Structure 1
């Protein structure tokens, strides 16, 4: 296998790691490209395990990139949310939701797990972790690396690595509600919420939200969005009611999928204006994440063979 074929074999895994680490498709592609350049410059005769070398290079490059972009995100106008890597709203996507949330022909349990690992809610919670902490958590919890291998990759001792993963797991669990909700039930809640929001039915909206519901919206200073997270069913329902009163007749609401999970897509004509995903307990909505920054909605497929 030549050097290019060898790299392309591992590229999907490298992109999957970089995207989860950075929450940005563009930054993930840049990191994978930098890993490719280093791979071409390396003495491959001295590399016994190409996958380990490439994962190490991608992780370290990703950590460096995350440190750099965090400084920019601190000055971001309003809340910063991860950038979707896949948005679908065609009939096949809706049929996949009806069939249990998996792509046709895919393993339903595996597809659901992958969607959870790249959900906007999950990636948003990972923003609370430090760069090395985030990398260690992902390598252990998502990619199933042993602590000893993670420690070697990060240049830490194994005990420190175990403690880092343990702390990260606790912080993620504390910040992230966990509810077991069937995809069909999730979709029905989304449809009811979409119907109420598109009609400006404040009472119906409030009834669909948990009392302690939270909304986070990312407009990037380029689209209308709440400048800080909103807490409480009444405040969130009032926001959607106020938005309805300023209704744009060109806006169309549709059910789709974002990063593999059911979502609401809002279009202005043929242009995607916003995506909305929710965390629900099966009966009511606990969290709403809305991405309206147009720079994050111009989704193009990742590099050929890339995985999300």
Structure 2
């Protein structure tokens, strides 16, 4: 077997893992493919037999490429590429890739990750999702291991703070969402305050902010002010089986309102407009 054939086989063995790493850092299937392709090109240019841990070496390369892409996107205030999630289809037979995508970071947390600085996002994803040691993360983000640990810790606090809270059955949540939509359409600020938890949080992904939403809002009053009169065209829907709201345009889903309720109050609203993420959701319109 030639050296090129050997490298090709080893790379393909790790492709699912590399693509999962890139996807979790970037939140875009198309950009993840680009990062993996760049890793393949660098492998062909830079590989030496002295590399003992090829999987770790490739993970570092993909992470560096993804971080550069993430920083560039952030500097331009761009959303991840607006490409249908069908880009994931060719890797659907990769059990490792699919398990990572389904079990590690949900769509709501992808919205939270969009609010993190690139270094924080990368440190959290590599360490908490893929168990990469901080000693290996540090040179990627140009920090000491201790500083890399702090980056991941800050990100972890944000992510854990966004975890859904238990509390409300689906029938009751449907009533709460219906009441929210009615109050928002009327522009009834006081009614919204009654529905929202005092510590309510509103988060919007980058695509939603491009459409005019505020990226992050804390507190019932601020959330009510941000959403009063803003849900005129949103309709009651099931979002992966959970009551929420959906705005469509020409029959195409444009924005999902994903709600987390606690003690019969809305504690969290995530606005999801990224088309890749929308294509991942099971959306069913309900009678409003």
Q: What TM-score, normalized by structure 1, do the two folds share?
A: 0.64
- CA offsets per residue over residues 183-222 of structure 1, 9 Å max, x none? x847567533432244347566433311232323455676
State yes or no: 1:123 paired with 2:110.
Answer: no
Gaps of 5+ in 2: 87-99, 282-288
CA separation of 1:289 and 1:82: change in aligned 2, threshold 3 A = farther
- Please give the residue correspondences for 1:98-137 in structure 2 after superposition, counting only pairs within 5 Å: 114-116=104-106, 119-125=109-115, 127=116, 129-131=117-119, 133-137=120-124
**Alignment partner, residue 193 of structure 2:** 206
State yes or no: 1:271 paired with 2:255.
Answer: no
**Alignment partner, residue 99 of structure 1:** none
When the two chains are superposed, the root-mean-square deviation of aligned CA atoms in Å is 4.3
Contact 1:257 1:263 in 2 (8 A): no
Q: What TM-score, normalized by structure 2, do the two folds share?
A: 0.67
> Bigger relative contact order, structure 1 or 2, given CA contacts below 8 A and separation 6+?
1
CA separation of 1:70 and 1:144: change in aligned 2, threshold 3 A = same
State yes or no: 1:253 paired with 2:231.
Answer: no
Contact 2:237 2:243 in 1 (8 A): no
**Alignment partner, residue 23 of structure 2:** 19
Question: Post-superposition shift, 1:55?
Answer: 0.3
Take 2:76 and 2:169, find their aligned partners in 1: how far apart are those partners?
34
Gaps of 5+ in 1: 88-109, 302-308
**Alignment partner, residue 286 of structure 2:** none
**Alignment partner, residue 58 of structure 1:** 62
Question: Post-superposition shift, 1:241?
Answer: 4.9
Take 2:82 and 2:176, find their aligned partners in 1: how far apart are those partners?
23
- Please give the residue correspondences for 1:3-152 in structure 2 after superposition, counting only pairs within 5 Å: 3-43=7-47, 45-73=49-77, 114-116=104-106, 119-125=109-115, 127=116, 129-131=117-119, 133-151=120-138
Contact 1:200 1:241 in 2 (8 A): yes
- CA offsets per residue over residues 269-295 of structure 1, 9 Å max, x none? 5311212234554643333221336x6
- CA offsets per residue over residues 95-154 of structure 1, 9 Å max, x none? xxxxxxxxxxxxxxx9985245972343134x2x352x4333322222112333434x63
